[in-house]
């Protein structure tokens, strides 16, 4: 074989080898070693496990959210029931304090109707009844407004008449026709009063 023929034969063998390799591996593909394949398989398994854990935690948190929402709704309903009950029975304690007053008044009326009733005992019974009522009002911070001798205050007093007086300064409460009452610091009824003023001749002398 001449040198030219030998070179041509080697070129044919090399081309054949290259074609065989191309058929075994598609274009654009790269070969992987066994260790690299195992590593990719392991990464996929880990990702799958992380995804499952994430889904489990999401389900757990969702269930917790539903339970909390149910608890809040139950608490709201219970609070509404308790508030409605508080409004409905707000006067229960006050009523318990007033019932002895009613009992005492009924006994007093029966005593007045009895023969040979003792006026002194009847008067004493009325005074005791009034004291029971006063104690009941005091327990609930209901205080009276009795401004006799005080300067007229339109925030707490209501003047129903004006009288001339020389012995007191003008604009002084000289008579309390009806007492007023406060609930804590809130006026629930003003005191009905008569207020003094200077005599007419005194006004004329000053002018």
pLDDT bucket at 118, cuts 50 / 70 / 90: confident
- List, for residues 19-67, the tens digit of each pLDDT value: 554 444 445 444 545 555 555 555 777 788 788 888 889 989 999 999 9
Please give the share of the chain, as a percent, with pLDDT higher than 70.
76
Helix (H) or strand (E) holding 25: none
Q: How far apart are CA 129 and CA 67, in angstroms?
A: 57
Angle subtended at Cα 94 by Cα 90 and Cα 98, rounded to the nearest 5 degrees: 145
Over range 68-92, report the average pLDDT.
90
Q: Which of 38-47, 156-165, 193-202 has the lowest mean pLDDT?
A: 38-47
Name the CATH superfamily, with its identifier, for domain 142-207. Head domain of nucleotide exchange factor GrpE (2.30.22.10)
Closest among 176, 172, 175 to 197, alpha carbons compared: 172
Q: What is the pLDDT of residues 163-186, one digit of tens each?
A: 999 999 999 999 999 999 999 999
Instruction: Give domain limits for the chain.
Output: 74-140, 142-207
């Amino acid at each position: 074989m001449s040198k030219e023929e030998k070179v041509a034969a080697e070129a044919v063998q090399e081309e054949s080898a290259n074609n065989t390799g191309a058929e075994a591996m598609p274009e654009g593909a790269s070969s992987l070693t066994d260790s690299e394949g195992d590593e990719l398989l392991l990464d996929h398994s880990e990702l799958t496990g992380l995804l499952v854990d994430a889904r489990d935690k999401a389900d757990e948190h969702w269930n917790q959210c539903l339970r909390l929402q149910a608890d809040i709704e139950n608490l709201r309903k219970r609070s509404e029931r308790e508030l409605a009950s508080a409004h409905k029975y707000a006067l229960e304690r006050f009523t318990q304090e007033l019932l002895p007053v009613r009992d005492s008044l009924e006994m007093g009326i029966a005593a007045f109707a009895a023969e040979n009733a003792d006026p002194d005992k009847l008067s004493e019974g009325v005074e005791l009844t009034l004291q029971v009522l006063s104690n009941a009002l005091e327990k609930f911070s209901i205080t009276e407004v009795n401004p006799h001798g005080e300067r007229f205050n339109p925030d707490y007093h209501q003047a129903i008449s004006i009288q001339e007086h020389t012995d007191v300064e003008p604009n002084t409460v000289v008579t309390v026709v009806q007492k007023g009452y406060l609930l804590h610091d809130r006026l629930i009824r003003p005191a009905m009063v008569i207020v003094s003023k200077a005599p007419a001749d005194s006004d004329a002398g000053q002018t």
